[in-house]
């Protein structure tokens, strides 16, 4: 009896599943409870919130039946900068503590350092320090990519982040005027940097690289 590829369920493709309101309404937990009733699924969760540790009990049930990968987003270790960029998200150190707790519970966890914000979170050694802190917390994989910013969102995004870096709005206006991508050369350099980080820290690139799923759909 071998493994067959299961349809993947990604929890958080549009918004974080652990919003502050989750504490009151428990919508995400209710969804996880339904997934825990099934076998052989492929599931990933990505969040910026340490609130996920509340659901370790149900996540362990899911992981015993299905392939489960948990991604914690950490783009900077600087608390003030993190608060300015992500005002409703917990501090970076709290996310790293959550990562450690999830790993100690036997769950597969990695770090998403996306997006890299040109001129803001891409300083010398900054991405590397995020990776090192994640490794110390037990992260098994590491990935990152450059900010994708649609033109219609450029003005509001620039205004909200201008306080963080002198000249930031002009750079972003130049880069993102025609499409949502930073210049190809910049993106290439970031990709090469991420690869070096993975090699140095011994990270996988993605959840199932080097990790056999806990369970899968059987043929």
In this predicted structure, the answer to whether residue 27 has a pLDDT above a threshold of 90 is: yes
Averaged pLDDT for residues 54-75: 97
In this predicted structure, the answer to whether residue 88 has a pLDDT above a threshold of 80 is: yes
pLDDT tens track for 139-190? 999 999 999 987 665 555 555 554 555 456 577 878 887 788 999 999 999 9
Question: How far apart (Å, rounded) are the C-alpha atoms in residues 83 and 86?
Answer: 5
Domain range 3-147+182-218, its CATH number among 3.80.30.30, 3.40.50.1000, 2.60.120.10, 2.60.40.10? 3.80.30.30
Q: Which of 1-5, 53-57, 152-156 has the lowest mean pLDDT?
A: 1-5
Q: Model confidence at 219, in pLDDT bands (50, 70, 90)?
A: very low
What pLDDT does residue 171 have?
Answer: 79
Relative to beta strand 3-4, strand 8-11 is unpaired
Specify whether the CB–CB gap between 8 and 2 falls below 8 A.
no
Mean pLDDT of the chain: 86
Record the pTM: 0.86
Percent of the chain past pLDDT 90, that is, above it, reads 69
Q: Where are the domains of the chain?
A: 3-147+182-218
> When comparing pLDDT for 94 and 212, which is higher?
94
What pLDDT does residue 208 have?
Answer: 63
Q: Which two tokens stand for residue 215?
A: 């369970």
Percent of the chain past pLDDT 70, that is, above it, reads 83
In this predicted structure, the answer to whether residue 94 has a pLDDT above a threshold of 50 is: yes
> When comparing pLDDT for 13 and 122, which is higher?
122
Question: How far apart (Å, rounded) are the C-alpha atoms in residues 167 and 182?
Answer: 16
In this predicted structure, the answer to whether residue 81 has a pLDDT above a threshold of 80 is: yes
Q: Model confidence at 78, in pLDDT bands (50, 70, 90)?
A: very high
Q: Model confidence at 13, in pLDDT bands (50, 70, 90)?
A: confident
Nearest 5°: the CA angle 30, 36, 42 is: 110
Per-residue burial over 150-174, b if 16 or more Cβ lie within 10 Å, else e, is eeeebeebbeebeebbeebbeebee
């Amino acid at each position: 009896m071998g493994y067959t590829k299961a349809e993947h369920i990604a929890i958080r493709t549009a918004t974080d599943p652990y919003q502050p309101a989750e504490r009151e309404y428990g919508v995400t937990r209710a969804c996880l409870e339904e997934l825990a009733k099934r076998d052989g699924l492929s599931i990933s969760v990505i969040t910026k919130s340490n609130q996920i540790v509340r659901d370790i009990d149900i996540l362990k049930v899911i992981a015993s039946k299905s392939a489960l990968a948990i991604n914690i987003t950490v783009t900077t270790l600087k608390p003030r900068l993190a608060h300015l960029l992500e005002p409703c998200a917990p501090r970076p150190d709290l996310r790293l503590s959550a990562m450690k707790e999830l790993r100690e519970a036997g769950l597969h966890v990695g770090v998403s350092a996306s997006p890299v914000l040109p001129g803001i979170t891409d300083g010398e050694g900054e991405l590397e320090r995020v990776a090192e802190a994640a490794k110390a917390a037990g992260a098994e994989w590491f990935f990152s990519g450059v900010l994708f910013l649609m033109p219609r969102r450029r003005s509001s995004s620039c205004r909200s982040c201008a306080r963080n870096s002198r000249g930031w709005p002009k750079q972003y206006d130049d880069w993102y005027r025609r499409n949502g991508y930073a210049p190809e050369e910049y993106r290439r350099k970031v990709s090469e940097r991420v690869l070096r980080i993975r090699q140095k820290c011994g990270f996988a690139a993605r959840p199932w690289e080097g990790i056999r799923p806990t369970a899968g759909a059987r043929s």
